[in-house]
Amino acid sequence: MSRIGKMPVAVPQGVDVSIKQDQISVKGTGGTLSIANNALVTIVNDAGKITFAPANDSREANAMSGTLRQLVNNMVVGVTKGFEKKLNLVGVGYKAQATGGKLNLVVGYSHPVNFDMPSGIKVETPAPTEIIIKGADRQRVGQIAAEIRAVRPPEPYKGKGIRYSDEKITIKETKKK
């Protein structure tokens, strides 16, 4: 059995987990998230601890028990604490501004780049060169951060562009005569 799948998910106070035949829903202060249930995994909710076990001895069932356990754990953490990604803008004149549900980027193009944030995702700009994306759904937060980074990924010679705050860019040496 998967090492991750063996560990139970602890459900904190104020979080409601409902397990139905076709889906699992997690409701908390951060919102409501749901995921489709898999027939290869047996799920048991036992007084604040959710355990996952493969339904049979197949490899797929073993793998899905660990995957589904981690997805449910991410949903529980998301509705209690939430997830966030930080992006930094590096370059002369590069700046970002968040107004409501929109993000405006000026990153060296002839036009500003505008992003509309989907529901459940909040964006903040504490400084003009810093972007913080917050939300309850880990996958959506990461996807939005990746799409914003893809507008101007960091280039290898000067390091200009949009990068994650913890990302290390290896600067290449220029050609020598």
* CATH code of residue 38: 3.90.930.12
The pLDDT assigned to 175 comes to: 85
Q: pLDDT digits over 43-72, tens only?
A: 998 888 999 999 998 999 999 999 999 999
Residue 23 main-chain phi, psi, to 5 deg: -155, 160
pLDDT-derived band at 33 (thresholds 50, 70, 90) equals very high
The pLDDT assigned to 1 comes to: 61
The pLDDT assigned to 142 comes to: 96
- Based on the fold, state whether residues 33 and 70 are members of the same structural domain: yes
The pLDDT assigned to 72 comes to: 94
Mean of pLDDT values over 131-156: 95
Mean of pLDDT values over 134-150: 95
Residue 177 belongs to a domain: no
pLDDT at 122 over 70: yes
Of 30, 51, 80, the position where a domain reaches its end is: 80
Is the pTM here over 0.85, yes or no? yes
- Based on the fold, state whether residues 69 and 132 are members of the same structural domain: no
pLDDT at 164 over 70: yes
Mean of pLDDT values over 13-36: 91
Residue 175 belongs to a domain: no
Domain that holds residue 71: 3-80
The pLDDT assigned to 75 comes to: 95
Residue 42 belongs to a domain: yes
- Based on the fold, state whether residues 72 and 142 are members of the same structural domain: no
Find where tokens 């400084």 sit.
127
- Based on the fold, state whether residues 103 and 48 are members of the same structural domain: no
- Based on the fold, state whether residues 153 and 89 are members of the same structural domain: yes
Inter-axis angle of helices 59-80 and 138-149, to 10 degrees? 80
Mean of pLDDT values over 88-116: 93
Question: What does the alpha-carbon distance between residue 141 and residue 124 come to, in Å, rounded to a whole number?
Answer: 13
Based on the structure, what is the number of domains in the chain? 2
The pLDDT assigned to 32 comes to: 93
Which residues is 45 bridged to in the sheet?
50
Mean of pLDDT values over 1-24: 87
- Based on the fold, state whether residues 148 and 128 are members of the same structural domain: yes
- R_g of the chain, CA atoms, integer Å: 21
- The full 3-state SS of the chain, as one line of letters, equals CCHHHHCCEECCCCCEEEECCCEEEEEECCEEEEEECCCCEEEEEECCEEEEEECCCCHHHHHHHHHHHHHHHHHHHHHHCCEEEEEEEECCCCEEEEECCEEEEECCCCCCEEEECCCCEEEECCCCCEEEEEECCHHHHHHHHHHHHCCCCCCCCCCCEEEECCCCCCCCCCCCC
- Based on the fold, state whether residues 119 and 156 are members of the same structural domain: yes
Please name the amino acid found at residue 105: L
- Based on the fold, state whether residues 67 and 25 are members of the same structural domain: yes
Residue 128 belongs to a domain: yes
Average per-residue pLDDT for the chain: 92
Of 45, 80, 115, the position where a domain reaches its end is: 80
Mean of pLDDT values over 26-40: 92
Residue 10 main-chain phi, psi, to 5 deg: -85, 125
